A = this chain, B = another copy of it.
Amino acid sequence: MARAWHLMRRPSGTPVPEDFAIKEAALPELSDGMVRVANRWLSVDPYMRGRMNDVKSYVPPFALDAPMEGGAVGEVVESRDPGFVPGDMVLHMGGWRDEAVAPASALNKLPAIPGVEPQAFLGNLGLTGGTAYFGLLDAASAKEGDIVFVSAAAGAVGSAVVQIAKARGMTVIGSAGGADKCDFVRSLGADAVIDYKSGPVLKQLAEAAPKGIDVYFDNVGGDHLDAALAVARKDSRFAICGMIEGYNEAHPTCLKYIMRIIAMRIRLQGFIYTDYLPKLGDFYRDMGGWIAGGQVKSRDTVMEGLDKTLEAFLGLFRGANMGKMLVKL
Contact = CB atoms under 8 A, between A and B. Distances in A.
B271 A269 contact: no
A242 interface: yes
A265 interface: yes
A157 to B, nearest CB: 12
A261 interface: yes
Contact of A243 (B240, B262, B265, B270): B262
A189 interface: no
A255 to B, nearest CB: 5
Of residues A253, A258, A271, which shows the largest number of chain B Cβ atoms within 10 Å of its Cβ?
A258
A281 interface: no
Given A253-B255, A255-B252, A258-B253, A270 B267 contact: yes
A112 interface: no
A275 B264 CA distance: 11
A246 B259 contact: yes
Given A252-B254, A254-B252, A267-B270, A241 B262 contact: yes
A262 B50 CA distance: 12
A201 interface: no
Contacts of A262: 240-243, 270-272
A243 B254 CA distance: 15
A57 interface: yes
A265 B258 contact: no
Given A252-B254, A253-B254, A254-B254, A221 B265 contact: no
Q: How large is the interface on A (under 10, 10 to 19, 20 to 34, 35 or more residues)?
A: 20 to 34
B265 A275 contact: yes
A256 interface: yes
Contacts of A263: 50, 57-58, 270, 272
Nearest to A58: B263
Nearest to A241: B262
Nearest to A243: B259
Interface in A250-304: 250, 252-256, 258-272, 275
A324 to B, nearest CB: 20
Nearest to A266: B270
Nearest to A238: B268
A265 B50 CA distance: 15
Contacts of A270: 260-267
A77 to B, nearest CB: 36
Nearest to A267: B269
B58 A259 contact: no
A6 to B, nearest CB: 24
11 contacts: A57-B263, A240-B262, A242-B262, A253-B255, A253-B258, A253-B259, A255-B255, A260-B270, A261-B270, A267-B268, A267-B269
Given A242-B262, A246-B258, 11 more contacts: A57-B263, A58-B263, A252-B255, A252-B258, A253-B254, A253-B259, A262-B271, A263-B270, A264-B270, A267-B269, A268-B269
8 shortest interchain CB distances as A-B pairs = A261-B270, A268-B268, A252-B254, A254-B254, A252-B256, A262-B270, A240-B261, A265-B270
